[in-house]
A = this chain, B = another copy of it.
Amino acid sequence: MPPTQPETYRKRLQTLLLQAAEAMIVEEGLAALQARRIAKAAACSVGTLYNIFGDLDGLILAVNERTLRDLERVIAVAAQRSATADLGTRLMALAIAYLDFAVVHARRWRAVFEHRLPDDRDVPPSYRRDRQRLLALIEAQLVSSIPDAGTRTDAAYALFASVHGIVVLSLDAKLDPFDAAQCERRIRFVVTHAVAGLE
């Protein structure tokens, strides 16, 4: 059954609003987002934005889900390309892919971690699944090294969060300008030591 006319129209507006919000994040960062400006850029009313996404948070979550899926694709490619290498090489490939994504898509990437929902509101299940899939890519590397599933999940999360912490502080560069080689050395320290302890 083909979609009815109003469905198509709604889908098109949804896409336009998503693109407008994403472009605004890319150019100015998450803090600059305003429902009124996004609606104007998508040539619709604020009421329409709320009707489609619930509120501005709903639209931001949708943009961030797109970012997570793009990130997942990049990490998955890195995992595939290094699939036959040893554990250390594979984990470094994933970590460097993460660093590269954060550098290239700095504002979109930052928006994923900067955005906070009101305390009384849950993250939608789709968002949860997107993030779980990303973690699963790291867990998959550890299957033969850590047989216990719970320990493996913790380890994958710890590795992800460690690399994330190094990337976030390096890019924030409160003290020094961003130094990619230094950032990579720090990531390598964590990854190689984790691997040395696992093998």
Contact = CB atoms under 8 A, between A and B. Distances in A.
Interface in A114-128: 116, 123, 128
Contacts of A27: none
A189 B155 CA distance: 6
Interface stretch (A8-16, A33-41, A100-108, A168-176): A168-176
Contact of A198 (B154, B155, B190, B193): B193
Nearest to A165: B165
How many monomers of this chain does the complex have?
2
A26 interface: no
Interface of A: 113, 116, 123, 128, 131, 154-155, 157-159, 161-166, 168-170, 172, 174-175, 182, 185-187, 189-190, 192-194, 196-198
B193 A197 contact: yes
A154 B196 CA distance: 18
Nearest to A114: B114
A29 B197 CA distance: 39
Given A154-B185, A154-B186, A165-B162, A113 B172 contact: yes
26 contacts: A113-B172, A123-B175, A131-B174, A131-B175, A154-B189, A155-B189, A157-B169, A158-B162, A158-B189, A161-B162, A161-B166, A161-B168, A161-B169, A161-B170, A161-B186, A162-B162, A162-B165, A162-B166, A162-B190, A164-B165, A165-B166, A165-B168, A190-B190, A193-B193, A193-B196, A196-B196
